[in-house]
């Protein structure tokens, strides 16, 4: 079966209404992402691909999300969510790239037919797609172009509307498991809120509510998500959402949000004037589509930048792995727990975790961490930027649900109940700022900790990240989860010689996946050593990249 006749004509006619710009786009970890003005044809075509992907899975629902996450407001993007709520299967990434870059309507149909043949797709199978979008001014029009593509295949389309990216991931898995013996959850946004709120209140039962938490929503869709959650939590949690100017031109991710806090290592702009910002109290920031979270606190007045302390993805991973590991031990379950990091993880966090759980290091990109985490019974993964989650394997969930608590000590029975609730609280499809926020608050409450106690578990090594412009980033090739350079030849030996000069020194370089540059990361015991090491490594990259 192939795309021909009336269907081919329909696709070509609709494609002509969404002309392709003179730009080449590549589908990567973040899907397609570029200036919003260049994306209309790509969004139309991802609608076509979404329909084919659903058909290839026997009609299971897949998701399409229009968002550019932490990027500036003028950018946008689109990515696909596979049937289990995970990121798109890797073999479809080059398919997306080829279809997005087909020059004409005829070439587009030809590329689609290649997919139909390659994947043995039965075009008579009804397709099902749910889509959503973030708060950018360009998002809804781009979503409409996507729907035009879906319509070419007469797809069963569900409009999720304005959602966070993690909510769309949740909906896809919930829709596809709603008729199974153990559905993931009710396939609605209210079902999402009810699941998280119910698990949170179960874990917090009998415990004092945590102190009020200021949440920087990055002027994005997390604002809407928090309101929905609070309606279900009632008085169980007090949140003060700020930076909530959804729809205000130029506000999204501007001087605020998780990426700003992480990259600038400072409070969001204007926080020193917020009436509820006080030293010693926990604060957090979402990014624009609420799939990342960054925690932080102050050790003194907000007017002094030196009083800022950051609790990033490494700290979240350490907190989660430590606590869940203790619960597994207390429950006496025959399951393993491990943690996945990238080369960007602070060396102090790796040392801390290695003493508690097995560690896996993967290349940068959430898809790599997610797949590595699936190899553990309970896999914790977080990038330093605050994007991550915890995965409970079928074996782990079965061990928890089938445990005979009547024959256990009260401590073991309580640990089983808590693990079951954590599996409900954590959005296992993808990193979710809202879910991760609740997880952290629960663990801190259970441990009787505030931000200072959490921060004191280990002290981050001073570090620095530098971008170096080069003529051709592709000449830089890496191995060992991007921690060592194989090309240009001789560069790694020079880096090793530099690193050896500094106590606790570490440095690596890797080509950017999205920009024409090479990223240099350096860390050491002393800030002045970090500055020297980063500068010297940057000079080497320029020398070898000339």
Could you write out the DSSP letters of every residue in 45-75?
HHHHHHHHHHHHTTT-EEEEEE--TTS-TTE
Burial of 497 (0-12, 13-18, 19+ CB in 10 A): exposed
CA distance 412 to 401: 13
Residues flagged as binding site for substrate: 383-385, 510-514, 519
Residues flagged as binding site for Mg(2+): 69, 287, 289, 291
Q: CA separation (Å) from 181 to 9, 176, 177, 418, 471?
A: 43, 12, 8, 22, 55
To the nearest 10°, the Cα dihedral for 53, 58, 60, 62? Answer: 0
Residue 297: closest CA among 316, 278, 313 = 278
Evaluate the omega torsion of the peptide bond into residue 488 and state whether it is cis, within 30 degrees of 0: yes
- Pull the structure tokens for residue 135: 């708060």
Identified catalytic residue from 15, 69, 128, 318: 69
- Pull the structure tokens for residue 497: 């010689």
Residues flagged as binding site: 69, 287, 289, 291, 383-385, 510-514, 519
Active site residue 37: no
CA distance 312 to 214: 16
| Residues whose CB falls within 8 Å of the CB of residue 18, separated by 6 or more in sequence, listed in order | 40, 41, 43, 44, 45, 145, 148
Beta carbons within 10 angstroms of residue 246's beta carbon: 18
Active site amino acids: 69
């Amino acid at each position: 079966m192939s795309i021909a006749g009336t269907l081919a004509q329909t696709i070509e006619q609709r494609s002509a209404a969404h002309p392709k710009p003179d730009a080449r786009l590549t589908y990567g970890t973040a899907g397609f992402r570029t200036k919003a003005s260049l994306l209309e044809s790509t969004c139309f075509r991802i609608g076509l691909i979404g329909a084919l992907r659903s058909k290839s899975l026997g009609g299971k629902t897949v998701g399409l999300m229009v968002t550019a996450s932490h990027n500036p407001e003028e950018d946008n993007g689109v990515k696909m969510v596979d049937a289990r709520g995970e990121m798109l299967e890797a073999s479809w990434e080059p398919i997306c790239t080829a279809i997005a870059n087909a020059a004409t309507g005829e070439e587009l149909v030809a590329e689609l037919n290649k997919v139909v043949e390659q994947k043995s797709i039965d075009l008579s199978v009804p397709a099902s797609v749910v889509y959503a979008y973030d708060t950018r001014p360009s998002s809804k029009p781009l979503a409409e172009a996507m729907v035009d593509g879906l319509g070419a295949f007469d797809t069963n389309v569900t409009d999720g509307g304005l959602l966070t990216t993690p909510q769309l991931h949740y909906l896809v898995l919930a829709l596809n498991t709603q008729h199974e013996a153990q559905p993931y959850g009710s396939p609605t946004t209210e079902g999402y809120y009810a699941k998280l709120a119910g698990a949170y209140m179960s874990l917090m039962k009998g415990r004092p509510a945590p102190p009020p938490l200021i949440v920087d929503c990055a002027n994005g869709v997390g604002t809407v998500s928090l309101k929905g959650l609070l309606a279900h939590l009632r008085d169980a949690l007090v949140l003060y959402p700020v930076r909530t100017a959804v729809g205000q031109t130029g506000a999204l991710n501007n001087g605020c949000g998780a990426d700003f806090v992480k990259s600038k290592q400072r409070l969001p702009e204007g926080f020193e004037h917020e009436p509820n910002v006080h030293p010693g109290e926990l604060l957090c920031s979402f990014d624009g589509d609420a799939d990342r979270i960054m925690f932080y606190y102050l050790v003194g007045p907000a007017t002094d930048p030196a009083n800022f302390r950051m609790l990033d993805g490494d700290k979240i991973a350490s907190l989660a792995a430590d606590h869940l590991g203790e619960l597994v031990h207390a429950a006496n379950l025959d399951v393993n727990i491990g943690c996945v990091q990238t080369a960007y993880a602070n060396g102090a966090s790796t040392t801390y975790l290695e003493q508690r759980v097995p560690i896996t290091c993967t290349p940068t990109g959430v898809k790599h961490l997610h797949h590595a985490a699936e190899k553990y019974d309970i896999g914790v993964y977080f990038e330093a930027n605050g994007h991550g989650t915890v995965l409970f394997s079928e074996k782990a969930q079965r061990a928890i649900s089938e445990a005979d608590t009547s024959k256990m000590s009260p401590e073991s029975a309580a640990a089983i109940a808590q693990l079951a609730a954590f599996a409900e609280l954590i959005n296992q499809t993808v990193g979710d700022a809202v879910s991760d926020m609740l997880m952290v608050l629960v663990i801190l409450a259970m441990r009787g900790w505030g931000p200072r106690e959490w921060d004191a578990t280990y002290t981050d090594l001073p570090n620095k990240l530098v971008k170096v412009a080069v003529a051709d980033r592709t000449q830089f090739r890496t191995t060992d989860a991007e921690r060592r350079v194989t090309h240009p030849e001789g560069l790694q030996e020079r880096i090793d010689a530099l690193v050896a000069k500094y106590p606790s020194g570490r440095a690596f370089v890797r080509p950017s996946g999205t920009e024409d540059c090479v990223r240099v990361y350096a860390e050491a015991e002393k800030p002045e050593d970090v500055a020297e090491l980063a500068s010297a490594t940057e000079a080497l990259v320029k020398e070898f990249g000339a």
